[in-house]
Structure 1
Amino acid sequence: MTAPTINGTRYPQPIKDLLPAARDLDLPDGEDFPSRNRLMREFRIGAPKAGELLALLKAEATAPPADTAKATTPDPATAPAEPEPAAPVAPDPTPTPEITPPEQVEQVAEVGRPDTPAPTAQARRAVAWPVVLLALPAFVAIWSGWVGLGGLTGFGIVHPLPGIWDSFSINSAITLPIGVETYGAYALYVWLSGRVPAPALRFAKWSALGSLAVGALGQVAYHLLVAAGIASAPWWITTAVACLPVAVLGMGAALAHLVRTHD
C-alpha cells in the first residue's frame, strides 16, 4: 500500500501536519489508536516521531471536552432594574500608580531567579568530513587484505568478455572488498537511520554486524596466512571466501526489498 501524501509530498512532514491525517486512518474493530509501527509505515517516519504522534492522538482522546454551553438571555421582566447613573465625580489630581499585570510579575520573577537556567543556543550539527580521514587508511588496509586473501584462495586475473574484448581483463579479487565492505556500510546506515520498517531495521542490524565480523575475520585470516608463509589457503577458508560474493548479493537484494516494503 502506498503511503498517503500530506500537503502534496511523500517526504516526512511536521507533527502538526501529520496529526489530521493520523486521525482519519481506518482502524480495525477494537482498536482506538493506530500502532506506532503503522504510523511509521503510513507516513514513512522514524520511531521517535511516530511515538510523539501517537502520544498526541492519545492526549486528544483524554482531553476534557470544551465548554460549549451557551449563555442564556435574561428575561427582561425578571431582570433587575438598571441603577440610575451616579453623579459625575471630579477626577483625582493624584496620579494613579501603574499596576503591573500578574502574568508579567511572574515572568519577571522567573527570569530573575538565580536557579533559572539561561536559554541555550540551538546545537549545530556535527561535521562529517573527519570520517573521510578515518576511512582512507582503513580503505587501504582493507582493500589490500581482501585482494591478498583472494589471491590465496584462487581469485585472480580473468577475461570477462572473451570473443568480444579479448584484451580486457580484471582481477576478480577486487569483488571481495567492494562487495563485503560496501554492503556492511550500507546496512549500517539503514540500521542507524531508523527510517525503514521494523523488519528491514532488524535485518539491516544483524546483517551489518555480520558483514563487519566477516570483514574482520577475512583480514585476520590473510595476515595469519602471510605471516606463516602459506601460499595457498586451506580448503575451508577457500570455501568460505568463494561464497562471499553470492551471500552479499542475496543480502543486498533482500535488504532492498525490505526497505521498500510497507505492508
Structure 2
Amino acid sequence: MTAPTINGTRYPQPIDALLPAARALDLPDGQPFPSRNRLMREFRIGAPKADDLLARLKAEHAQRTRTKQTRTAMIVRGALLTPPTDPDSAPVPLDYAEPIGPHPAPAPAVPGHTSPADPTPVTPPKIAPTDPAGQVTVVGHPDTPTPTPPARPAVVWPVILLALPAFVAVWSGWVGLGGLTGFGVVHPLPGIADGFSINTAITLPIGVETYGAYALYVWLSGRVPDAARRFAKWSALGSLAVGALGQVAYHLLVAADVTLAPWWITTAVSVLPVAVLGMGAALAHLVRAHD
C-alpha cells in the first residue's frame, strides 16, 4: 500500500508542496534543519529530491541568520547613536514656561566669584608660566612619562685603527708562511701576457682572513636563517683558529731558522684555498636559502 502523500494524492510531490511540511518537522535542540535521510524517510522521496529540499531549507536558514544579524547590528548602532536622555534638558511644560521676550545679557563672570543663578564657584583659567625671556613654558601632566631620548649608536671607526696593524701582521705572516710551503711567483697567463706575474702567497691572507671576517658578520647579524647562522658561527671560529695557528707556525719556523716547512704544515696550508672556496660557496647558498 502506498503511503499517503502531503496533498492526498499518490503521485510524487513537488518540492514546493513538501517545503512547508519539512519546515514543520520537529527537530532536536540546536539542529536548524533535518538531515537528508530523515527527509527521505518522512516523505518517501529519493536522494535527488531530498538533496534539493535540503538545499532550500539551508538557504532559508542562511537568509534568516543574515536578517537576524542585520537587525541586531541596526539595533546596536541605533542604541549607540542615540544620545542619553538628560533630565535637565527635558522640555519645560507650557504652563510653567517663561514669557517670551528679550532676556537681559548675562553679566560677565569674575574669576573667583559666583553668580546668583549658579552658586558653583568659577575657576579662573590656568595660564602657563613664562620664563624671564617671555617664552611660554609647557608644563606636562605629572602622570605622563617623559619620553626617553633615542640612544646614539656606538661608533665603529676605532675598528679601523685596530685593523690596520693586525692587517699588516697577518698579511706578512701568511705571505711568509706561503713562501716556506711552496707558494711563490707564478705567471698565470703564459703566451698571452708573459710579463704578468703574481705571488700566490697572497691568496692565503685574502682567503682565510676575509672569509673569517665575513662569516663572523653573518653569524652576529641575526638576519639569516638558523642553518646559515650555525654554519657561519662554527666556520668563523674555525677560520680564526686556523689563522692564529698559521701565524704561530710561521713565527716558530722563522725563529728556528727553518727555510722549508715540514710536510704536514705544507699539506695543511696548501688545502686552505680549496677549503675557503667550499665554505664560502656553502655559506652563500645557506644565506639565500629563505629566498
TM-score bracket for this pair, using the shorter chain length: 0.5 to 0.7
- Matched with 1:56 is none
Mapped pair 1:110 → 2:143:
yes
CA distance in 1, matches of 2:191, 2:78: 97
Larger RCO (CA within 8 A; separation ≥ 6): 1
Q: Tell me the equivalent position of 2:264.
A: 236
Amino acid at match of 1:186: Y
User: Is 1:70–2:112 an aligned residue pair?
Assistant: no
Asked whether 1:247 is paired with 2:278, we answer no
Q: Structure 2 CA distance, aligned partners of 1:158 and 1:127?
A: 42
Q: C-alpha deviations, 1:117-162, integer Å up to 9, x for none?
A: x643211111211111110000000000000000000000111111
- Aligned pairs (5 A) from 1:120-131: 120-131=148-159
Partner of 2:209: 181
In structure 2, the residue matched to 1:153 is 181
* Distance (whole Å) between structure 2 residues aligned to residue 172 and residue 110 of structure 1: 69
| Identity, % of aligned positions | 74
Alignment map for 1:54-65 (pairs within 5 Å): none
Is 1:196 matched with 2:239?
no
2:240 maps to which residue? Answer: 212
Q: Return the TM-score normalized by structure 1.
A: 0.61
Larger mean Cα displacement after TM superposition, 91-100 or 169-178: 91-100
Q: Spell out the pairing of 1:31-70 with structure 2 (5 A cutoff).
A: 70=76
Aligned residues: 179
Q: Which amino acid aligns with 1:218?
A: G
Ranges in structure 1 where 5+ consecutive residues have no aligned partner: 1-67, 74-80, 101-106
**Cα distance in 2 for residues equivalent to 1:137 and 1:238:** 26
Q: Could you say which structure has the larger radius of gyration?
A: 2
SS in 2 for 1:167: coil
Deviation, structure 1 residue 108: 3.7
Separation in 1, partners of 2:97, 2:246: 102
State the Cα distance separating 1:110 from its structure 2 match.
3.2
CA-atom RMSD, angstroms? 3.0
C-alpha displacement of 1:98: 6.7
Q: CA deviation at 1:167?
A: 1.0
One-letter amino acid of the structure 1 residue matched with residue 232 of structure 2: A
| 2:117 alignment counterpart | 91
What SS does structure 1 have at the residue aligned with 2:202? helix
